[in-house]
Amino acid sequence: MSGHSKWATTKHKKAANDAKRAKLWAKLIRNIEVAARTGGGDIDGNPTLYDAVYKARKNSVPNDNIERAIKRGSGADDGSVDYQNIMYEGYGPGGVAIMIECLTDNKNRTAAEVRLAVTKNAGNMADPGSVSYQFARKGIIVINGSNEDAILEAAIEHDIEDVALVGESHVLTCDPSSIVAVRTSLQNAGIDYESADVEFVSSLKVDLDADNAEKVIKLIDAVEDLDDVQTVYTNMDVSASVLSELEARG
């Protein structure tokens, strides 16, 4: 679940079993392949590919898998697939807005699977534009193990919109066009970051009670479990008291 709500960064880690790790790796590798196809296989000359590879390495994807994905995407190896980027919109419990980003080689299959997962979990699909109007693209960089002063000192000259402590991480928000410059400045200052992505962030947050928050999380988990779904964005927010209640429920 993206958007970096309190829940997204503090929920209990699920067991990193082989099936879940394999599914995550497949999505990360697909991102690499698409980035290489779109902007070429030179990591230093393709910022999108750089970020995709960085994220894959942070999640322990083997280098051999990464190299093969770059070769497939850039046309240097056989077996590439023509993936299309598709965004679906919908609503979850409590009126929460949901955007579902997919990479697929079969639009009909993906549409059917997404619709089934959403409707089975108390949500409904929405027409294009009915949800997306409230979301804007933002550069989101997640940083662990550093303090806010050091982060600001490293990146203040760029278009930073916010640095917020969420759980144990700092989440830096910037203009999407500045994300490469910001993450480069962080690296030059010796600050390691977990991920640097362009995400969709809503300007209309919806506060939920524990019951509706739990239902939305169940819906998001079901949708994210689909092979073609890359990221789910919502405008859900939860208060500290609701977060405590959710954590107490396990």
CATH number for the domain that contains residue 213: 3.30.70.980
**150 belongs to a structural domain:** no
What DSSP character marks residue 94?
A: G
pLDDT tens digit sequence for 111-146? 999 999 999 999 999 999 999 999 999 999 999 878
> Is the residue at 40 inside a domain?
no
- Is 222 part of a structural domain of the chain? yes
Specify the pLDDT at position 78.
67
Instruction: Let me know if residue 123 belongs to a domain.
Output: yes
Q: Number of folded domains in the chain?
A: 1
- Report if pTM > 0.85: yes
φ/ψ region of 191 (left if φ > 0, alpha if ψ in -120 to 50, else beta) reads beta
Q: Count CB neighbours of 10 within 10 A.
A: 15
Q: What is the arrangement of strands in the sheet containing 160-166, beginning at the earlier edge strand?
A: 160-166, 169-174, 135-144, 195-202
Q: Does residue 26 form part of some domain? A: no
pLDDT band with cut points at 50, 70 and 90 for residue 44: very high
Residues comprising the chain, all counted? 250
**Contact present, 85 and 34 (Cβ < 8 Å):** yes
Provide the edge-to-edge strand list for the sheet that holds 124-126. 124-126, 84-91, 97-104, 229-234
Q: Which domain holds residue 238?
A: 84-133+204-249
Please check whether residue 21 lies inside any domain of the structure. no
Q: In this structure, what DSSP letter does residue 77 have?
A: S
Do the domain assignments include residue 13? no
Residue 60 lies in a domain: no
Predicted pLDDT of residue 8: 53
